[in-house]
């Protein structure tokens, strides 16, 4: 089973969309194995978004992601990375399909509600930024036998 990180960003928290986002991902068969609400500080934001260092939007991204609380979640399931990315939709809500989180609720590329790991390798590193091994639970759901 794959694990992937999802961050529910400040715009989604402020707009009361956290439950909707979590619900959509759980309905696709994914399980929550770790979750916490936090206020991301600038140092953590710089580490998490290091790939964007030096890009024109980097400072705005750091300001936005540290502007309010976020919810960090580790989801587990078959093809978790791919499933999460499909449910989220394109990074730019203007290009996201209807029926996706960003297509239905996103405002613009700078306020796109949610982050999801883009690969298994990145998922592992991102999860380690937000959670210790002890914070990630493993459990079986009776439903998993029906899904998998």
Nearest-angstrom CA–CA distance, 29 and 51: 30
Question: Would 10 be classed as within a structural domain?
Answer: yes
Phi, psi of 27 (to 5 degrees): -65, -20
115-145 pLDDT, tens digit each = 999 999 999 999 999 999 999 998 887 777 7
Question: Would 125 be classed as within a structural domain?
Answer: yes
For range 18-39, the mean pLDDT: 98
Question: Would 56 be classed as within a structural domain?
Answer: no
Q: Which domain holds residue 93?
A: 2-39+70-138
Question: Would 144 be classed as within a structural domain?
Answer: no
What is residue 125's DSSP assignment?
H
**How far, CA to CA in Å, does 103 sit from each of 50, 67, 85, 120, 144?**
26, 23, 12, 24, 28
How many Å separate Cα 76 from the centre of its chain? 12
Catalytic residues: 115
Q: How many domains, in total, are found in the chain?
A: 1
Question: Would 51 be classed as within a structural domain?
Answer: no
pLDDT of res. 139: 84
Question: Would 111 be classed as within a structural domain?
Answer: yes
- Output the DSSP codes for 4-49: EEEEE-HHHHHTT-HHHHHHHHHHTT-EEEEEEEE---HHHHHHHT
Question: Would 25 be classed as within a structural domain?
Answer: yes
Nearest-angstrom CA–CA distance, 24 and 71: 15
Question: Would 118 be classed as within a structural domain?
Answer: yes
44-91 pLDDT, tens digit each = 999 999 999 999 999 999 999 999 999 999 999 999 999 999 999 999
pLDDT of res. 147: 64
Q: What is the pTM of this model?
A: 0.93
For range 23-40, the mean pLDDT: 97
Q: What is the CATH number of the domain that holds 24?
A: 3.30.70.141
Q: Is 73 in a helix, a strand, or coil?
A: strand
């Amino acid at each position: 089973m794959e694990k992937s990180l999802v961050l529910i960003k400040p715009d989604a928290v402020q707009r009361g969309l956290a439950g909707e986002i979590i619900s959509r991902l759980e309905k696709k068969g994914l399980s929550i194995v770790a979750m916490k609400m936090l206020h991301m500080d600038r140092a953590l934001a710089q580490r998490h978004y290091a790939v964007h260092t030096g890009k024109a939007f980097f400072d705005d991204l750091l300001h936005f992601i540290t502007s309010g609380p976020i919810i960090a979640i580790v989801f587990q399931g078959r093809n978790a990375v791919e499933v999460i990315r499909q449910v989220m939709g394109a990074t730019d809500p203007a290009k996201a399909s209807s029926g996706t989180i960003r297509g239905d609720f996103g405002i613009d590329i700078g306020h796109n509600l949610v982050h999801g790991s883009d690969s298994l390798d990145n998922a592992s590193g991102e999860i380690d930024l937000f959670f210790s091994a002890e914070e990630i639970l493993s459990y079986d759901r009776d439903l998993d036998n029906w899904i998998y």
